Amino acid sequence: MVPNRLSRGFLLLLIVALLAVVPIGASAQTEGDVNRAESQVDQAEDSTSEAYGRWKQAQDDLEAAILELDIVTSRLENLVYTIGLTESRIGTYEDEVEGLKENAQQLFLEAYTSGGRGMVTAAFEAVSIQDLLTSQQLMNNAASRDLADLDRYQAVSREMDRLKIELIEKQEEVEVVEAETAALADKASTLNEQARSVYNQASAAEQRAIDNLAKERAEFQAAEALKKQRDVAAANSRSGTAAGLPPAATPGFYCPVQGGASFIDSWGFPRSGGRRHKGVDMFNSRNTPLVAVVDGRVKFSSNSLGGLSTHLYAGGTTYYYAHLEAHPTNISSGQTVKAGTIIGYLGNSGNARYTSPHLHFEIRPGNVAVNPYPTVRHYC
C-alpha cells in the first residue's frame, strides 16, 4: 500500500458520512452508492499501484543501464589511458634507438675501414640498415662496450615494434568500445525519458503516491549505502569518513542537479591508472543547470580529466562539479554565491566525452573525499 494515503476503511467511512448529509430516496440507493464507492477505492488503489509499478520498473531499468554504461566507460577510459602510456613508451624508445643507431653506424664505419672485403660483403647481403648494424661481421669487430650497445639496440627495436603492433590493436579496440559506449549512452538516455514519461502520464494522485514512495526508496538506498561504506571502513580499519555523511550533517543542502538526476552508488569503482571513483555520476540532459548545494565561494577551472569544472568552497568542505558543458556568464570565479545559485551546466567534457552527459560530483570535507551518494540520494 502507498504510505500517507487514507486507508480504505477511512475512505469508506468518509464517503458514507458524506452520503448521509445528501438527500437520498431509498436505502437501496445508499447501499448501491457505498458499493460503488468501495469499487472506486479499489480502482484508485489498483491504478496507483500500477502507476508506481511502471515507474519503479523504469527506474530499475535505468539504474541497470547506468551501471552497464559505467563499466564500459571505465573500460574505454583504461584503453585510452593505456594508449597514452604506450605512445609515450614508443616515443622514449624511438629517441633511444636513434642514439644507439648513431653509435652503431659509427662502429660500422670503423669496422668497414679495418675489415675490408668482409664488411663490403656484409653490406650487400644486409636486407635493411638494422640487419647491417647487427650483422655477425660487425659483431666480430665490436668491442665489449659496443656489443652491449648493439644488444640494447636490438632489444629496444624489437620492443618498439611490439608496442607499435599493440598500439594499433588497442586503437582498433577503442573504436569498438566507443561504439558500444555510445549505444549504451543512447539506451540510458532513452530509459531516462521513459521514466519521465511514466511519471508525467500519471494522474496527480498517482504522482503524489510515486513521490512519497520514491522518497522512501531514496532514503532507504541512502541509509544502505551509508551502512555499507561504514562496514567497509570498519573492516579495513580506516576512518569512517570514507562512509559519507549522514543527512543531519548537511542541513539545507540542495540537490546539485536542478530538477534531480539518475545515478547509482559507484563509489570505489575502478578507473584508469589504478584510480578509484571518488564521486557520484549524476545523469540528466545536456545543459541542465547545476546549482550550489550550500552557500560558498566558487572557482571555475578546466583540466584534461574533469573538463570544465567548478569548485564550491564552504566552511572547510569542497564540493567538486566536473564534466560541465559550460560555466555561467553572470558570475565570476572567486565570487561568493547562495545555495541554489546556478554555477554550471551539465555536460560531458574532459575524459567523459564518450559518455552520456552527466555531473561528476564530489564532497571533500577537510579535503578528504567521502562517498557523496548517501547525501545526494537523500536530497535528490
Inside any domain, residue 368: yes
- Residue 94: what pLDDT? 82
Inside any domain, residue 160: yes
- Residue 255: what pLDDT? 96
How confident is the prediction along the chain (380 residues), in pLDDT tens digits per residue? 333 333 333 333 333 332 233 333 333 445 554 344 444 444 445 566 787 888 888 888 988 998 998 888 888 888 888 888 888 888 888 877 776 666 666 655 655 555 544 444 544 444 455 555 555 555 555 554 455 666 677 788 888 889 899 999 999 998 899 889 888 888 888 888 888 888 888 888 888 888 887 888 888 888 887 777 776 666 554 444 456 788 778 888 999 999 999 898 888 887 777 788 889 999 988 999 999 999 999 999 998 889 999 999 998 999 999 999 999 999 999 999 999 999 999 999 998 887 788 999 999 998 889 999 999 998 99
- Of 283, 295, 286, 274, nearest to 344 by C-alpha is 286
Q: Which residues contact 201 (CB under 8 A, 6 or more apart)?
A: none
- Residue 364: what pLDDT? 94
Inside any domain, residue 205: no
Inside any domain, residue 217: no
* HSE toward the beta carbon, residue 114, CA cutoff 13 A: 10
- Of 42, 38, 47, 374, nearest to 210 by C-alpha is 47
Supply 290's cell numbers.
547545476
DSSP-assigned states of every residue in 318-378: EEEEEEEEE--SSS-TT-EE-TT-EEEEEB--GGGTTSPSEEEEEEEETT--B--HHHHHH
Contact 355, 185 (CB under 8 A): yes
- DSSP at 280: E
C-alpha torsion sign, points 73, 76, 82, 87: negative
Instruction: Single out the residue in 166, 198, 230 at which a domain terminates.
Output: 198
Domain that holds residue 274: 245-379
CATH of the domain at 372: 2.70.70.10
The number of folded domains in the chain is 2
- Residue 103: what pLDDT? 61
Distance CA 246, CA 305 (A): 29
Same domain, 53 and 185: yes
- Residue 36: what pLDDT? 44
- Residue 49: what pLDDT? 76
Same domain, 31 and 177: yes
- Residue 244: what pLDDT? 78
Exposed / middle / buried, residue 359 (Cβ in 10 Å: 0-12, 13-18, 19+): buried
Same domain, 292 and 148: no
Instruction: Single out the residue in 198, 221, 256 at which a domain terminates.
Output: 198
Same domain, 153 and 256: no
Q: What is the largest CA-CA distance in the chain?
A: 131
